[in-house]
Amino acid sequence: MHELARVKVGSTNPIRVMGIINTSPESFYKKSIFTDKKIIGKTAKLMEEDGADFIDVGGMSTAPYLKTLVSEDQEVKRITNAINAIQKTSKLPISIDTCRAKVAEIALKLGAEIVNDVSGLKYDQNMVDILEKHNPSVIVCAFSSNPVRGNQVMQTKKLINQSVTLALKSGIPKNKIVVDPAIGFFRRKAQGVLFTKINSDWLKRDVLILKNLNQIKGGHPILVSVSRKSFVGELLDEADPEKRLYGSLAAETFAALNGADIIRTHNVKSTCDIVKIVENLKKYKKGL
């Protein structure tokens, strides 16, 4: 049985919801950015009341089309404030969204229980040492610092397997590893450093991935993060992330129907509603 922090995930368990709290003013969706401790605390409490199973905290935007690199010290300061604020109002497990070992370690010492690394443990060589020392739950994202060509489903599966191997080598049990196919992070070109270069159309790649989640997960629960992203913007022809709510919910529904075990979202209440509908429809289907 797989567990992410204290929550059972995957298999016959319900689809879980992870709420996003960004503390980075550089983030692409401005309404997900919280820097005031009181507001962070209130937001976390509301997410718990709305049905979230986890809260994912980020101190540096990883949007591949933005220049978002900030200093390690700045990232540490932001996530420290956020984790302290969340713990005062919510009992939900905290996930730290970082690819830096130092940031991950400080977050884990503060009480975070999950490391969510968009580089799949490949950006910072010290990350595996931190995992070995603290033994958290881990979310590994498909990522390569080298260009990726060929069948994108098979390549994504291959990259995820590389990261799962790194996690296992650091002593993380298989049942504490969740995988992420990196929707939005495979691009022909980007301004940020945390993207995987491909020579094909990124939108087609992401659609193909969402259609083949069950093939990609390889025995691990799979997390999907499409909320408000440019993936939704492209399909809607909508440049403003604030106007992508309904498109996000449609994409999340599609992911849930195609095998997503966890949905990471800015829109906790709405996403919890669609998850309930999907779960109930599955039950009715089985009962006929």
pLDDT of 173 reads: 97
Q: What is the pLDDT of residues 22-68, one digit of tens each?
A: 887 655 555 656 678 899 999 999 999 999 999 999 988 665 544 55
pLDDT of 65 reads: 47
Low-confidence ranges of the chain (pLDDT < 50): 65-66
The domains of the chain, with CATH numbers, are 2-287 (3.20.20.20)
C-alpha–C-alpha distance, residues 30 and 33, integer Å: 5
pLDDT of 111 reads: 98
pLDDT of 70 reads: 78
Torsion, Cα of 124, 57, 141, 263 (10° steps): 180
Question: ∠ at Cα 24 (65, 188), nearest 5°?
Answer: 10
pLDDT of 5 reads: 96
